[in-house]
């Protein structure tokens, strides 16, 4: 089996590459400039040199078609594109192009090269918007509240359209928040963990955060890439919500992280309204029961254990 991972240098791309290599796959991976990229995550995971790496610009159809034609994969995992909700408010065009046009280009390339290729698309819980206290599942309506979520929702519907119109094996994993030590420093989980570890070592800094009352379903990223693979092994393509099913507030996450570092978070964290987003999701809750029923997948790491793993890795 040969897999093409678009966006292999990211958190999910690295863990997925490691998983597939362990299953005996030949793995190809893309980034915008493979010659200039350092692929630090692949090095951290001990798999650097075991993949075929190539350059691909997701919003350039010729570039995408060229890579798919050369690779001739059995499976394509589209994980590329601008991945920060906060940054999408500052770079809406880049976000929409890299995610929406990127997904369309992959679908078209597969349609031209071989319709037997199976496609996994990384959708997002951000598409649901604010669901209140309701747990979102595969039939919950989308109500995106950021340029990132709008782009992901558009790509999600495009996957469904090509599945219906052309019979492609194409599906979306609606992943809720999933974290690991490979997360970039701009993500709030990494920001909290790194600051707590620095303060525990003697730093006198204050950690400035935006809203602490937002609530999310946080999981462990290495488990989530297994769900991606399982989705492409089913007889019939279908979209799935992938999450732990447990929701906690950012304040709870901060509390647990600082506790693991031996600190009281209230002594070191300040509220900064300048970090508030123009619009945000206050409460996010998931119903991942379909993934358990159909895929046999269930998260085993929930927030408290996740926080411990992140702090341990940062020390």
Sequence-separated (6 or more) residues with CB below 8 Å from residue 236? none
Sequence-separated (6 or more) residues with CB below 8 Å from residue 311? 193, 196, 197, 257, 260, 261
pTM score: 0.94
- Whether the Cβ atoms of residue 164 and residue 138 lie closer than 8 Å to each other: no
- Of the candidates 15, 25, 120, 148, the residue annotated as catalytic is 148
- Of the candidates 97, 126, 179, 223, the residue annotated as catalytic is 126
pLDDT tens digits, the chain, 315 residues: what are they? 999 999 999 999 999 999 999 999 999 999 988 887 889 999 999 999 999 999 999 999 999 999 999 999 999 999 998 878 888 899 999 999 999 999 999 999 999 999 999 999 999 999 999 888 889 999 999 999 999 999 999 999 999 999 999 999 999 999 999 999 999 888 999 999 999 999 999 999 999 999 899 999 999 999 999 999 999 999 999 999 999 999 999 999 999 999 999 999 999 999 888 887 777 888 899 999 999 999 999 999 999 999 999 999 998
Query: From CA 270, how far away is CA 164, in angstroms rounded?
Result: 49
In the structure encoding, which two tokens stand for residue 148, read together?
């990132």
Q: What is the 3-state secondary structure (H, E, C) of 60-120?
A: CHHHHHHHHHHHCCCEEEECCCCCCHHHHHHCHHHHHHHHHHHHHHHHHHHHHHCCCCEEE
Per the annotation, the verdict on 124 as an active-site residue is yes
Using the CB atoms, write b or e for 284-310: b if 16+ within 10 Å. bbbebebbeeebebebebbbbebbebb
Residue among 211, 212, 209, 206 nearest 268 (CA): 206
- Of the candidates 9, 63, 88, 124, the residue annotated as catalytic is 124
- Which structural domains are found in the chain, ordered by start? 2-178+220-242 (3.40.50.720), 181-216+246-284+301-314 (3.90.25.10)
Using a 10 angstrom Cβ sphere, with 0-12 exposed, 13-18 middle and 19 or more buried, the burial of residue 194 is middle
Residue among 246, 243, 253 nearest 223 (CA): 243
Per the annotation, the verdict on 223 as an active-site residue is no
Per the annotation, the verdict on 126 as an active-site residue is yes
Query: From CA 270, how far away is CA 268, in angstroms rounded?
Result: 7
């Amino acid at each position: 089996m040969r897999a093409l991972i678009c966006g292999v240098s990211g958190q999910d791309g690295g863990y997925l590459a490691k998983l597939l290599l362990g299953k005996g796959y030949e793995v190809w991976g893309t980034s915008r400039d493979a010659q200039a990229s350092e692929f630090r995550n692949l090095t951290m995971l001990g798999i650097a040199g075991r993949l075929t790496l190539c350059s691909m610009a997701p919003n350039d159809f010729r570039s995408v078609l060229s890579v798919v034609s050369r690779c001739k994969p059995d499976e394509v995992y589209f994980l590329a594109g601008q991945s920060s909700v906060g940054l999408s408010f500052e770079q809406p065009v880049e976000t929409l192009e890299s995610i929406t046009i990127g997904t369309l280009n992959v679908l078209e390339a597969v349609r031209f090269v071989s319709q037997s290729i199976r496609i996994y698309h990384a959708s997002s819980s951000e598409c649901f918007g604010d669901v209140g206290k309701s747990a979102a599942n595969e039939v919950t309506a989308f109500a995106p509240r950021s340029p990132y979520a709008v782009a992901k929702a558009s790509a999600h519907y495009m996957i469904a359209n090509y599945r219906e119109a052309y019979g492609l094996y194409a599906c979306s994993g609606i992943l809720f928040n999933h974290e690991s030590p490979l997360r970039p420093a701009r993500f709030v989980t990494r920001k909290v963990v790194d600051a707590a570890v620095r303060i525990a070592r003697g730093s006198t800094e204050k950690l400035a955060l935006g809203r602490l009352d937002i609530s999310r379903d946080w999981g462990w990223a290495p488990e989530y890439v297994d769900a991606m693979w399982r989705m492409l092994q089913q007889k019939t393509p279908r979209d799935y919500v992938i999450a732990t099913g447990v929701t906690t507030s950012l304040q709870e996450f901060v509390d647990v992280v600082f506790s693991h570092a031996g600190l009281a978070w209230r002594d070191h964290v300040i509220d900064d309204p300048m970090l508030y987003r123009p619009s945000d999701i206050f409460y996010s809750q998931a119903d991942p029961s379909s993934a358990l029923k159909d895929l046999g997948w269930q998260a085993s790491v929930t927030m408290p254990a996740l926080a411990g793993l992140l702090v341990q890795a940062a020390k």
